[in-house]
Structure 1
Amino acid sequence: MSDIEKAAKDAVEAAANSQQLALIAAMLQAQQLTQQQPPAPAPAATPSSGSNAKWLVIGGVIVIGGPFLFMSFAAAAMAAAATAVALAISAVALTICLLILRSVWRGTSKTK
């Protein structure tokens, strides 16, 4: 192999090597650009839309309306309890009625 052929071969290898190095450099630069993007800005705080009077009204409604709300729940609980008691009494009465009817039925069927 002559010196010219050797130099040509080295030149071809260097050209291929320089293309690979250029691709690697471009990839590294692209990675750095994607990693250096600034973070998205934080959302702006919304300004207060009302005055302190709004909060005073809300507090007053809670303080005044709270007992009425409690009383309505208490009334509903009392109604539910009364319904449960009525249902229990009805169940006992029905059981007693069925026992009496059964004994009457047995009594009439024994006499026949």
Structure 2
Amino acid sequence: MSDALDKAEAAVREASTDTAAVQLAFAAMELAKLATQQQAQQPSQQHACEHQHKQGRSAGEWIGIACAVCVGSVGLAFASLAIAIAACCATGCFLILRSIWQSTQKGK
């Protein structure tokens, strides 16, 4: 890259007799040449890479994941509610059975 900068500086020095606008134009042309050379070299570097790159998720996949999380969360909430109701029912049954047990023990 320093070689390209040296070329650009040399072009600017050569254009010292020209106006500043022409000098800037020459420098811009050198930088454009450098950019096209670098772009031409990049595909050859990419082909040297043997492994495959994993593509990112699309918007549809993210929406599907979000819907699955929402449905799972609602299901988990209903399951927690069902467990709480079952625990209350079991406690009520236990208290009723204990009361019946105590009343039968007093009668003996």
TM-score of the superposed pair, with normalisation by structure 1: 0.47
Higher relative contact order (CA 8 A, sep 6+): 2
